[in-house]
Amino acid sequence: MKKCRDTLDVWIDSGCSHAAVLDAHPQLHAPADLYLEATDQHRGWFQSSLMLSVGYRGFAPYKTVMTHGFVVDKDKKKISKSDAAKSGKPTDAAHFYNQYGADIVRLWVSSVDWQNEVPFGEDLFKQVAEPYRRLRNTLRILLGNLDGFQPVENPEYTLLDRWILERLHEVVSECRKAYDAYEFRKVFNSLNQFCTADLSAIYIDATKDRMYCDATHSRRRRASQAAMHEIFTSIAKLLAPILAYTADEAWEHASFTTGTIHEQDFPVPNPDFASGEATKQATRLFEIKYAIQTAIESRIQAKEFTRNNEADVSLTIPASDAALLEMLNNREFATEFFIIAGLTASVGESLTATARKTDLPLCPRCRKHEPILESGLCERCDAV
């Protein structure tokens, strides 16, 4: 052991670190953009840095201070390195990114409320693996659907396309504000909800028929590709600070991108989809879809048929929804939006729906129930 005489005072030494670091490297600047430490540093490093910088520079050493809570176990007991070593539980980040991957660790960090006590444990990394797989799978499906993508001027967007792009407008706005406020949990929740509930469960499910079975140059398919292109580029960029490797890998595999995603700017909300008009229509149509689905489920349980796309639906809507009547009786729209075989809508006193098995035969190519031509295919498939 050798007595050290180089330290004047631990808080003075740490408090002048801004001068030792920022002044020694020309690529850096003073004040620093951010100081990050736990809540116990309000009377420690944050304060000593402030006092010494004001005395030395005349201003604070930082533009922003961000304090996080302590990491705790499932019993909300503070986890320290010494206690963890005694119990044999690893706390080193290397253990977790070697076992689960760096992006899983980063996603876990983004999913917790860092301003309060942060729960930590092996089970939490296993739990966050599921939303990671969903996000990664969403990027994979979008890339598959964008195979052969060619930009088109003024795409003829359907209601579904406009709705998902309006939702994207909201998500981009929410995420940019959340990043500015260091609210990474809001970014995680917003992107996870969008990819799971809106994109995968509704939009991709409803448009897969046009993506797989329409002619490659059809207006609907090209409109969907244009929408998916905007969605992919936006969510990949928004995910990049969190899923650094996954987002860059997806960006690299896209045929329409160059360089690395980490050289790109964040997306900006598209003003063309700020009105919310499609969302208002779609919201009511989703309520109608629920009534239709309820009618279909009762017939499936009665074993009249086994799948949604076998259902021929009779729908009555109230007079307040009369503006939707033409759209609902449009066969191309209704069979895609509701994923059914047919729909007949009329105006009545209230919203009611009944379902029966369709009389239309099954097209062997698209697997939809449609009138069949002499070729043995439906009109759409025969023309492809």
Domain ranges for the chain: 10-100, 122-273, 287-383
User: What does the pLDDT read at residue 86?
Assistant: 60
Does residue 41 surpass a pLDDT of 90?
no
Residue 121 confidence class, pLDDT cut points 50, 70, 90? confident
Mean per-residue pLDDT over the chain, rounded: 91
pLDDT value for 128: 87
Give the model's pLDDT for residue 320: 95
Residues 6+ apart with CB under 8 A from 204: 141, 145
Please state, in angstroms and rounded to a whole number, the distance separating the CA atoms of residues 57 and 290: 64
Whether residue 76 is predicted with pLDDT greater than 80 in this model: the reply is no
More confident residue, 220 or 44: 220
Query: Does pLDDT of 9 surpass 70?
Result: no
Going 269 to 167 to 108 to 229, the CA torsion angle's sign is negative
In the predicted structure, residue 85 carries a pLDDT above the cut 60: no
Q: Is residue 124 very low, low, confident or very high in pLDDT (cuts 50, 70, 90)?
A: confident
Q: Determine which of 78-82, 100-104, 261-265, 312-316 has the lowest per-residue pLDDT on average.
A: 78-82
Residue 156 CB neighbours (<10 A): 12
Instruction: Tell me the average pLDDT across 313-323.
Output: 96
Task: Determine the pLDDT at residue 81.
Answer: 62
Region 31-39: mean pLDDT is 89
Q: How many whole angstroms separate alpha carbon 21 and alpha carbon 61?
A: 11
State what percent of residues in the chain have pLDDT above 90.
Answer: 72
Residues 350-356: what's their mean pLDDT? 96
> Which residues make Cβ contacts (< 8 Å) with residue 8, sequence separation at least 6?
none
Nearest CA to 181 among 115, 85, 269? 115
Q: How far apart are CA 316 and CA 300, in angstroms?
A: 21
Span 273-293, mean pLDDT? 96
Least confidently predicted of 12-16, 86-90, 96-100: 86-90
Compute how many other C-beta atoms are within 10 angstroms of the C-beta atom of residue 228.
24
Question: How far does the chain reach from its first CA to its final CA, in angstroms?
Answer: 83
In angstroms and rounded to an integer, the radius of gyration of the C-alpha atoms of the chain is 28
For the chain, what percent of residues have pLDDT higher than 70?
Answer: 93
pLDDT score of 168: 98
| Average pLDDT for 366-375 | 95
Give the separation between CA 334 and CA 354, rounded to whole angstroms.
15
pLDDT of residue 83: 61
* Dist. CA 170–CA 168, nearest whole Å: 5
What is the distance between the alpha carbons of residues 342 and 339, in angstroms, rounded to a whole number? 9
356 pLDDT above the threshold of 60: yes
Task: Read off the pLDDT of each residue in 197-223 and give the average, rounded to a whole number.
Answer: 96
Determine the 3-state secondary structure of 28 from DSSP. Answer: coil
β partners of residue 67 = 37
Given pLDDT bands bounded at 50, 70 and 90, which one contains residue 346? very high
Of the candidates 98, 42, 43, 91, which has an alpha carbon nearest to the alpha carbon of residue 65?
42
Residue 115, pLDDT score: 79
287-383 adopts what CATH topology? hypothetical protein PF0899 fold (3.30.2320)
pTM of the model: 0.88
What average pLDDT score do residues 56-62 get? 92
Per-residue CA distances from 220 to 19, 48, 330 (Å): 60, 62, 15
pLDDT, position 382: 95
In sequence order, the 6+-apart residues with CB closer than 8 A to the CB of 234 are 168, 171, 172, 267
pLDDT on residue 294:
96
**Checking phi first, is residue 311 left (phi over 0); if not, alpha (psi -120 to 50) or beta?**
beta
CA angle 162, 164, 166 (to 5 degrees): 65
Q: Is the pLDDT of residue 7 over 70?
A: no
* Span 166-185, average pLDDT: 96
Q: What pLDDT is attached to residue 6?
A: 66
Mapped onto helix, strand or coil, the DSSP state of residue 149 is coil
- Which CATH number describes the domain made up of 122-273? 1.10.730.20
